[in-house]
């Protein structure tokens, strides 16, 4: 996997540019990787709904849950679907609107200095093996492109916004991810 450090886009993956992003604050580096879990409607996988949410085109009338989130202006840098395919919404050099009000190690507003990676899933549904492999490959490519991420923490949305968020949930296997990352490094 190759990431262009100038543009911040992954070469050869599906792109669905989101308007829900902006420039990172001057002087903010990439110092954190945040793992999220998402499904629309909750617990259902596949379909166009995540793309539609991240591009502000989610139709409120299509599902009762959509009416509660269609006005949100959110995004992520990348979504990893159940089969391990990647979709990039925001260039890594820009700030994606994925973390909201958040804090990590005393630093507020994690969007400023983090990469947001969504996994298609739910807190109580095991993530697919292909997703772990794709996530480890993506983290490896991010670290190759931005060495600051070698020392960066990898956390869940629940870790930086514990009063608001539970994702990626107890079904996410942190040990499995760590082993895959160790295997790649060693």
Q: What is the DSSP letter of 149?
A: G
- Written as six digits, the tokens of 169 are 């949930």
Torsion-angle region of residue 12: left (phi > 0), alpha (psi -120 to 50) or beta?
Answer: left
* Residue 118 among the catalytic residues: yes
Helices within the chain (DSSP H only):
49-54, 64-69, 129-145, 157-160, 174-185
Cα(181)–Cα(178) distance, integer angstroms: 5
For residue 10, the number of C-alpha atoms closer than 13 Å in the C-beta half-sphere is 24
Q: Which of 61, 71, 108, 118 is catalytic?
A: 118
**Catalytic machinery residues:** 118
């Amino acid at each position: 996997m190759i990431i262009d450090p100038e543009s911040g886009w992954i070469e050869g993956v599906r792109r669905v540019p989101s308007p829900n992003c902006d420039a990172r604050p001057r002087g903010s580096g990439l110092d954190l990787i945040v793992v999220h879990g998402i499904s629309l409607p909750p617990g259902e996988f596949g379909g166009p709904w995540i793309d539609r949410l991240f591009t502000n085109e989610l139709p409120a009338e299509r599902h009762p849950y959509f009416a509660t989130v269609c006005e949100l202006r959110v995004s992520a840098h990348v979504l990893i679907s159940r089969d391990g395919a990647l979709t990039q919404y925001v260039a890594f050099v820009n700030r994606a609107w994925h973390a909201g009000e958040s804090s990590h190690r005393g630093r507020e507003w994690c969007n400023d200095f983090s990469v947001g990676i969504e996994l298609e899933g739910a807190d109580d549904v095991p993530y697919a093996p292909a997703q772990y492999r794709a996530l480890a490959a993506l983290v490896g490519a991010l670290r190759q492109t931005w060495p600051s991420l070698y020392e960066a923490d990898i956390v869940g949305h629940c870790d930086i916004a514990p009063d608001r968020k539970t994702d990626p949930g107890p079904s996410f296997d942190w040990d499995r991810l760590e082993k895959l990352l160790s295997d790649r490094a060693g």
